[in-house]
Amino acid sequence: MEVLKYFLLIANCGFLSGDEGQFWHISDIHWDPDYKVTDDPNAVCPSSSKPVQDAGKWGNYLCDANWDLINTTIYTMGELLPNPDFILWTGDDTPHVADQQLGEEAVLRIIGNLTQLIQQVFPDTKVYSALGNHDFHPKNQFPGFHHSIYNKTAELWASWLNKSSVATFTRGAFYSEKLVGSDKQRIIVLNTNLYYTSNKLNADVSDPAGQFEWLEETLSNAVTGKEKVYITGHLPPGLFEKKRSQFWFRKHFNKKYIQIIQKYHSVIAGQFFGHHHTDSFRMFYNDSGSPIGVMFLAPGITPWKTTLPGVENGANNPGIRVFKYDKETMIIKDMMTYYFDLALANAGAPNWKLLYTLKGAFGVADGSPGSMQKAVDWLYQDSNHLQKYYNYNSVNYDLAKCDFNCRIDHICAIKEVDFDKYEQCVVFERSSSSVYTSPAVSLLLSLLFLLSFQVL
């Protein structure tokens, strides 16, 4: 830990100028309060559907995070960067258990306990917090109208929410505020759980809670006011890189979100989401194929191995990250991702370590759309670089070889947030060589692909 603290001190002193800042992004804590170390494999944790062998003090890959892991995570954050400009906390706090094992009171108690821990370690830090799809009862079923969970969560987060934010939060769990200490910078916190395919309440609703209309109005005002904006939330648009054609948004919601990003990209300096438990990013392009936006997907603190059918090696080591950003333009200057090797910790060496930096690992100047397009090129052209990214994707848990199909899944998920273009990408990549094509050429090939169907 002393070595890591020294590294961060050198990084801060050597590379942070007066107009650069730093913030934490954490996601998917998934606290399992009933985790216990026992020789009975059926009694270790209710968040696992399988018997758990070798339960350790710091948890197990089949289980959600226990309190020891969560506690050391938040306190380590306080040691590494005790005074961040702010914290992004993008939700999913409760364990992967059936609704019958939770209830509204239990959900709120878990959110409250985690809120209290973060406030204890960061008493003077602004936290922009979003609800995850598990932070509700019944899970996933977020309504587009007032609800007691919205009201009570707003009370738990009262010290973090401005009065103006409470009105929209209690209506639909979304809000927007000026970035703390700034006049021309803004944070938008979305409730994308409203758009989830598992949310039965909003299947036939065009704009649940009026969030899209509100988002467009907020971004339009940002254009007028010459603001720069970060957008954050839990469920991301696009597709899951660990399972082909797996998406979270309903198609019409996904398309609407992309249209909004394309329309207002000039003021959107970054997007930050979670849910996947993996470390990845997504590109957004305009109609001519030029990169206009980047979405960073944070790894989870829980190590829980997903039960999603078709996903192999679906666990991860716990991960947290710090972003460096330009306080004026809000361009991401660098990103440091730290990880906790759970197997090593349970063997007697619990320690958070630096896994990689964005600039060092991807060879980019910063986290801007143009730079991250170079990172996409880098992944596309070099299998060794793709393998490195793949190792980072599970926070150094799954170190298997990323084969041909793995490459398609990851490259197409990164490049194509639109569902139809993603499927075109998969078809093209399966039938083509590994020669890289630029987004503009890919667009042309996609059009030719569609025209071929019309001719036939």
**pLDDT at residue 435 is higher than 70:** no
Distance CA 290, CA 439 (A): 7
pLDDT at 13: 41
Distance CA 289, CA 287 (A): 5
Return the amino acid letter for 100: Q
Phi-psi region of 231 (alpha: psi -120 to 50; beta: other; left: phi over 0): beta
Sheet holding 20-26, edge to edge: 127-129, 86-89, 20-26, 319-326, 332-340, 352-357
Dump pLDDT digits (tens) for 180-203.
888 899 999 999 999 999 999 999
To the question of whether residue 30 is assigned a binding role by annotation, the answer is yes
Q: Return the closest-CA partner of residue 369 out of 243, 271, 224.
A: 271
Distance CA 137, CA 101 (A): 11
Q: Which of 14-23, 377-386, 427-436 has the highest mean pLDDT?
A: 377-386
Mean pLDDT, residues 98-112 taken together: 97
The pTM of this model reads 0.91
Sheet holding 175-178, edge to edge: 175-178, 185-189, 228-232, 268-273, 291-297, 280-285
To the question of whether residue 275 is assigned a binding role by annotation, the answer is yes
Mean pLDDT, residues 423-433 taken together: 90
pLDDT at 434: 47
**pLDDT at residue 142 is higher than 70:** yes
**pLDDT at residue 455 is higher than 60:** no
Please, which pLDDT band fits residue 303 given cuts at 50, 70 and 90? very high
To the question of whether residue 385 is assigned a binding role by annotation, the answer is no
Dump pLDDT digits (tens) for 148-161.
999 999 999 999 99
Dump pLDDT digits (tens) for 209-227.
999 999 999 999 999 999 9
To the question of whether residue 265 is assigned a binding role by annotation, the answer is no
To the question of whether residue 252 is assigned a binding role by annotation, the answer is no
Tokens at 103, concatenated: 């209830």
Mean pLDDT, residues 399-415 taken together: 97
Assign domain 20-417 to its CATH architecture: 4-Layer Sandwich (3.60)
Residue 237, number of CB atoms within 10 A of its CB:
25
pLDDT at 454: 43
pLDDT at 437: 47
To the question of whether residue 28 is assigned a binding role by annotation, the answer is yes
Please, which pLDDT band fits residue 73 given cuts at 50, 70 and 90? very high
Q: Return the closest-CA partner of residue 109 out of 184, 33, 162, 191.
A: 33
* Coil, helix or strand at residue 237: coil
Dump pLDDT digits (tens) for 334-377.
999 999 999 999 999 999 999 999 999 999 999 999 999 999 99
Please, which pLDDT band fits residue 169 given cuts at 50, 70 and 90? very high
pLDDT at 11: 45
pLDDT at 1: 52
To the question of whether residue 92 is assigned a binding role by annotation, the answer is yes
pLDDT at 4: 52
**pLDDT at residue 456 is higher than 90:** no
Please, which pLDDT band fits residue 432 given cuts at 50, 70 and 90? confident
> How many percent of the chain have pLDDT more than 90?
89
Q: Cα dist. 329→18, 146, 249, 270 in Å?
A: 14, 35, 30, 11
Please, which pLDDT band fits residue 442 given cuts at 50, 70 and 90? low
